């Protein structure tokens, strides 16, 4: 393990923001992780763990230590009649994990195709798409406890999962570093096709034998048509979460805005944030090199040299506008540093 000083984080965050880390190291093994965090504990220095850098916005230099976890490996731990259990190293690219599962005929995560980032960051946000969330397939999470200086395993009930949140994003932030996770996948996949445009796109493509491979292909097609490639245009995917309101609040809103789309979410109602942002006139708008994507208003983009502060100012402007027009508070999905 090599520790570098004053390193630009531009290649390590999906927005392509050019800030520096005081110290930086790539961690390729559990031994690297143990050594790195042992040193941190002794020096009491703030630290940040990067996976794919796909869900964060830097607004300034990081005056501490940044670790980029590069550990690799997908191992079948065990299987039974219905399920297979895979141990995934934190540094694996998430979409590579999905492809591996689909190629082997194991179902459960095909709807999560093309979500950016690494496997180790997936429990932090409880990533989700098209009616599936990580918690639906998670068996356990292995973490390094930086404070107690030991390794431990979390079961799903311990993770405090919610809509795009977890213990790792909230009260465990800065304490628990995810080193691997175990997924419980189906040998006889149960397809989930009733969310978004999946059925319509399958029909348009003339798919009659719907397999998990066909579902993955369609979701990749849908996401690619809506979301910009971070290697071309800097972005962190959805910047905002879709707001969830009570049934009573939705009844009030739909009277005033009859065209407002919605989805049931338990006893509550989820409203597409993209629709709210578009109604406020931000879709496709550009302010210097900071902008709102032309196809998906939930996505804020860096067209070249925008600073993190400029993108954050745009985000706050959108939040203020949506609150004024609809009385709904948008929440950021992206972590701000």
Burial group, residue 229, by CB count within 10 angstroms (0-12, 13-18, 19+): exposed
Alpha helices (H) in the chain, listed in sequence order: 30-43, 94-103, 122-125, 198-204, 212-226, 247-256, 273-279, 308-326
* Tokens matching residue 143: 């973490």
164, 166, 180, 216: the catalytic one is: 164
Q: Please state, as a whole number, how many other Cβ atoms lie within 10 Å of the Cβ of residue 175.
A: 14
Judge whether 268 counts as a catalytic residue: no
Q: Is 333 a catalytic residue?
A: yes
- 336 and 316 in contact (C-beta within 8 Å)? no
> In terms of Cα–Cα distance, which of 213, 123, 220, 131 is closest to 168?
123
**Bridge partners of residue 180, in order along the sequence:** 89, 142
Set 26, 133, 142, 333: catalytic member = 333
- Which is the catalytic residue, given 54, 140, 238, 310? 238
Smallest CA-to-CA distance from 138 within 99, 76, 182 is with 182
Tokens of 270: 């989820």
Q: What are 198's two structure tokens? A: 């999946």
Please give the backbone phi and psi of residue 262, each rounded to the nearest 5 degrees, phi first: -160, 165
> Which residue numbers are catalytic?
164, 238, 333
């Amino acid at each position: 393990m090599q520790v570098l000083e004053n390193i630009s984080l531009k290649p390590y965050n999906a927005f392509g923001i050019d800030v520096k880390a005081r110290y930086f190291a790539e961690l390729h093994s559990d031994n690297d992780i143990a050594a790195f965090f042992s040193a941190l504990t002794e020096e009491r220095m703030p630290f940040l763990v990067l996976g794919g850098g796909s869900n964060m916005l830097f607004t300034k230099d990081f005056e501490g230590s940044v670790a980029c976890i590069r550990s690799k490996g997908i191992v079948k731990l065990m299987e039974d009649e219905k399920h297979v259990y895979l141990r995934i190293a934190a540094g694996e690219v998430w979409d590579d994990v999905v492809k591996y599962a689909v190629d082997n005929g194991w179902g459960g995560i095909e709807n999560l195709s093309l979500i950016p980032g690494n496997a180790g960051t997936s429990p932090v946000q409880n990533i989700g798409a098209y009616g599936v969330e990580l918690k639906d397939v998670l068996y356990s999470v292995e973490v390094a406890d930086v404070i107690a200086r030991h390794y431990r395993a979390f079961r799903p009930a311990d993770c405090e999962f919610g809509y795009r949140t977890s213990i790792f994003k909230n009260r465990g932030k800065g304490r628990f570093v995810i080193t691997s996770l175990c997924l419980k996948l189906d040998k006889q996949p149960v397809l989930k096709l009733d969310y978004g445009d999946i059925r319509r796109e399958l029909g348009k493509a003339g798919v009659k034998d719907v397999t998990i491979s066909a579902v993955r292909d369609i979701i990749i097609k849908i996401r690619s048509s809506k979301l910009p490639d971070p290697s071309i245009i800097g972005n962190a995917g959805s910047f905002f979460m879709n707001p969830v309101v009570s049934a009573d609040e939705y009844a009030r809103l739909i009277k005033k805005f009859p065209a407002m789309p919605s989805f049931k979410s338990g006893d509550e109602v989820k409203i597409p944030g993209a629709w709210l942002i578009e109604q406020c006139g931000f879709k496709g708008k550009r302010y210097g090199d900071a902008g709102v994507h032309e196809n998906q208003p939930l996505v804020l983009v860096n067209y070249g040299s925008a600073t993190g502060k400029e993108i954050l100012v745009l985000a706050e402007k959108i939040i203020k506008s949506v609150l004024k027009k609809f009385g709904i508070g948008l929440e950021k999905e992206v972590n701000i540093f």
